[in-house]
Structure 1
């Protein structure tokens, strides 16, 4: 690790950490989104076994510490022959943890779709799968978006735990700056502002998606 002068190198290190944080956030959000839909829809399955497995999955990741999940991914999985890089272990733990909360969002949003909509699918002679994919889910996604926006921000903030397995994200880089320069206030103030900027971008993206989705639903309703 290169030495830093107290007045130099902050921008380079913080930018590098921000890029790593964004990469980890994107990977974790993609995994969380995919697994949230799988687990959330499984919670609504007619098969008791499928519902039970999904409920165990959700409660396990919601009921255990993300720190333990991260250490398990990085230190325990290799004992089973599955070796992961720090970034892989980070987005696996963060993504799966986030998906457990996202699964409940999916379940609740699907259930909130009006009963008349579900009755209409029966009148149209649609199968349960067709009704879910073409009628219910498009409407449920609009309901999910605000909660998924909040979840994305929580996932972004959770990326800080990856510093414990040496992922060079924002928190890790700030610690490196502090250890080499002895300064604490400046590097941590910089990463606070950077986290806020990333969170603002995420919320702006979610609001844009909400407007697009709502407009699309309005056109369909018309």
Structure 2
């Protein structure tokens, strides 16, 4: 096959990769804040549940998590499509790591900021949303940029549960043509071209939010 033919054959899996990546990143972002705040909660039960979730996810393989959701859960009656399993596995995994970005960024805000807001008689909610979180969010951006790239790269694993993403298409084409070097070089370039604007986008947001701060 020519390079152009290989490219178009691979791009048949692009929609699946982008769909899984988009929804997994969205889920991870939401979980990052929910669990991150949970780990900072004054309520012991919420803090314990959040900690258990983070430690279990970070302490086990993403591949095993994906297989468990797709192959083990149906045994107890919980069935889902391969795409849904991929989104949930990647989202849960990313959320655990993202929650540490949120938690560490919040506690990195200088204590003087909190003390000043207390002196101004701000409520705890006002302190968090008006003073602490805006500063912490800027610190979170580089970590979230790396996290979304890791989730994008993790989408390659969904090919192992028969989801026809880019990597799945590459393996199928390679099995029939044996043009391994050409196929996987093109695949590398496709992933890079997807990741590049994501990275630049985070950098652009970071620059916009830091204007006038330093």
Normalised-by-shorter TM-score class: over 0.9
Q: Corresponding residue for 1:163?
A: 159
Displacement of 1:11 = 2.3
1:3 maps to which residue?
none
Runs of 5+ in structure 2 lacking a partner? none
Matched residue SS, 2:201: helix
Q: Does 1:72 align with 2:68?
A: yes
The one of 58, 76, 90 aligned to 1:62:
58
Whether 1:150 aligns to 2:139 is no
Moved more, 78-87 or 184-193: 78-87
Displacement of 1:128 in angstroms is 1.4
Q: 1:120 aligns with which of 116, 119, 126?
A: 116
Task: Show CA shifts across 1:117-144 (max 9, x none).
Answer: 1112212222212211222111111000
Determine the structure 2 residue equivalent to 1:82: 78
1:90-148 CA-to-partner distances (Å, cap 9, x unmatched) read 01001111111111110000001111111122122222122112221111110000011
Cα RMSD of the aligned pairs, angstroms, is: 1.5
**Number of the residue aligned with 2:25:** 29
Give 5+ residue unaligned stretches, structure 1. 1-5
TM-score, structure 2 length as denominator? Answer: 0.94
Count of residues in correspondence between the two structures: 213
Q: Does residue 178 of structure 1 match 2:174?
A: yes
